[in-house]
Amino acid sequence: MPNSDNLRNFLDYLLVREEKGGRGKKSVPFVTITRDVGCEVDGFVRLLTKRLSDISHTPWSVLDKEILRLAASELKLKENELEDMLERSEHYVFDDILASFSENYYNKSEAKAKSILRDVIRDRAKQGHVVFVGRASEIITKGLRGGLRVKVHAPFEWRVDRLSKEWGVSLKEAQEMTEKAEKRKGNFRNLFKENENDYPEYDLTFNKSSLTDLEMVEILVGIYLSRWGKI
């Protein structure tokens, strides 16, 4: 666990940065969570959402695949078509969206699809009290006040070993599958970068191999309380 003095200094820094970011403007809290392939975050997200709901007395929601469902609704896709897309590679999601349009929408551009997905995420972030999991949310919400952008990572070998056991495959197979999955995730994020040098800016990075879900949650809760207090 981090030194308490260092953590307090970091919380003070975040608070000052938030104040300088725009005085007089109301900000609402939201969290984006990005994870490396092999870093399971379901338990972490459930615990975080419950803790934030409890201390704020406001229900927090989680948006993962639901993000694409909301976007598909805007694009007038059938739900079964969307469910088919959710089972495929993220890298091809917009090709799938465009191919699934009815005749009236077939000529819509990829830019339009990206714009709709971007609007869905940014509009929901502005409402606050939401945890985004993946879907390039850390890039799409860039510039919005009130957000905590978190990256959950772990050493490559640790992730490969974990996935090898989970998937029941050899270490070599797990490594190849992990590399391919990371490439797909990177390609998806690149769709929303303004330029090739537009890298995500994370407020916190957590090493999944050395921190428990509870430890990560308590650090985030401390930052939340330093910004918004206990309502």
* Angle, vertex CA 45, rays to CA 174 and CA 14, nearest 5: 110
Decide which of 63 and 90 is more confident. Answer: 63
Q: How many domains does the chain have?
A: 1
DSSP 194: S
How confident is residue 136, by pLDDT bands cut at 50, 70 and 90?
A: confident
The mean pLDDT of the chain is 78
Contact status, residue 37 vs residue 160, Cβ threshold 8 Å: no
How confident is residue 116, by pLDDT bands cut at 50, 70 and 90?
A: confident
pLDDT at 5: 54
For residue 61, is pLDDT > 70? yes
pLDDT in tens, 170-227: 999 999 999 999 988 888 788 777 777 777 789 999 999 999 999 999 999 999 998 8
Quote the strand ranges of the chain, DSSP E: 30-35, 61-63, 130-133, 147-153, 204-207
How many residues belong to the chain?
Answer: 231
For residue 68, is pLDDT > 50? yes
pLDDT in tens, 12-40: 555 444 444 444 456 789 999 999 999 99
Q: Which SS3 state, helix, strand or coil, does residue 85 take? A: helix
Nearest C-alpha neighbor of 85 from the set 117, 62, 130, 43: 117
pLDDT at 103: 40
Q: Which domain covers residue 174, as residue numbers? A: 4-228
Handedness of CA 188, 52, 204, 21 (dihedral sign): positive
* Angle, vertex CA 8, rays to CA 226 and CA 48, nearest 5: 50
pLDDT in tens, 81-100: 544 544 443 434 444 444 44
Contact status, residue 45 vs residue 208, Cβ threshold 8 Å: no
pLDDT at 111: 62
Could you tell me the CATH number of the domain that includes residue 26?
3.40.50.300
What gap in Å lies between CA 213 and CA 92, rounded to an integer?
31
